Amino acid sequence: MRTVAIYTRVSTVGQSCAAQEAELRQIAARADWRIVEVYSDHGISGAKSRKDRPAFDRLLKDASRRRFDLIACWSVDRLGRSISGLIDFLQEIRALGIGLYLHQQAIDSTTPAGAAMFGMLSVFSEFERAMIRERVLSGLARARAEGKVLGRPRLPKEKHASIRVALAVGGQSFRRIAADHQVGLATVQRINTALRQEGAKTKTSGVTVIGLPRPQSHAPSPVALRRAA
């Protein structure tokens, strides 16, 4: 006897999963499937990620524990709204050896016809990802051609130099330096790492490291005092 998990979902709070569940229970009874558990997400959009759909997340965790052999769902759009998200879900359960039954589409991934259908979905998903990548690269190339600067804005040279001086002098925490210069903590840490690497390279090459100039004292030295006497 097959063990099956039922997954239902509705997008708004006013809707109910009862109709989906009732129909899937009838199918399970006719097919002699043993229902392990019903997982229902109420008032949650299919565009949400796994972490925002608690029942769906629990379903996949229980799938990893091999609690059932098959996942039954009323329709493919109950699982998600994007092809790429659906394919990721299919690949995960396929790797676990778990099948998928979709009632509205009359697809059972454990049959040859169902497996072929999911194979076609995988092809279209790869095509969609390739098209997105091509559009992104084309947009970046166009932006560069127009002279636009891409990526994170560069830190002004004056501010960069001031942070280096503050790190070299010491006596302040990274957070204090970051707050004083209105930059992120990671920026200060990155500049500090670069300073350490520069110091290591200089020592390795045998060159004396010249630090910051020390403040000059205007008090006469002991030798000068003795000569004056």
Question: Which residue in the block uniquely carries the two structure tokens 């030798």?
Answer: 223
For 21-43, how does the pLDDT look when each residue is reduced to its tens digit (9 = 90+)? 999 999 999 999 999 999 999 98
CA distance 217 to 207: 27
Q: What is the mean pLDDT of the chain?
A: 82
17 with 42: CB under 8 angstroms? yes
- 197 class by beta-carbon count within 10 Å (0-12 exposed, 13-18 middle, 19+ buried): exposed
Tell me the whole-structure pTM to 2 decimals.
0.54
For 142-174, how does the pLDDT look when each residue is reduced to its tens digit (9 = 90+)? 888 888 777 777 788 888 899 999 998 888 899
100 with 63: CB under 8 angstroms? no
Range in 49-53, 56-60, 124-128 with the lowest mean pLDDT: 124-128
For 104-135, how does the pLDDT look when each residue is reduced to its tens digit (9 = 90+)? 888 888 888 877 777 776 666 666 677 778 88
Tokens coding 9: 């979902």
For 172-197, how does the pLDDT look when each residue is reduced to its tens digit (9 = 90+)? 899 999 998 989 898 999 999 988 88
CA distance 185 to 201: 25
CA distance 47 to 45: 5
45 with 13: CB under 8 angstroms? no
CA distance 204 to 206: 5
Q: Which amino acid is at 52?
A: D
Q: Quote the pLDDT of residue 64.
A: 94
Phi/psi of residue 115, nearest 5 degrees: -65, -40
How far the first Cα of the chain sits from its last, in Å, is 110
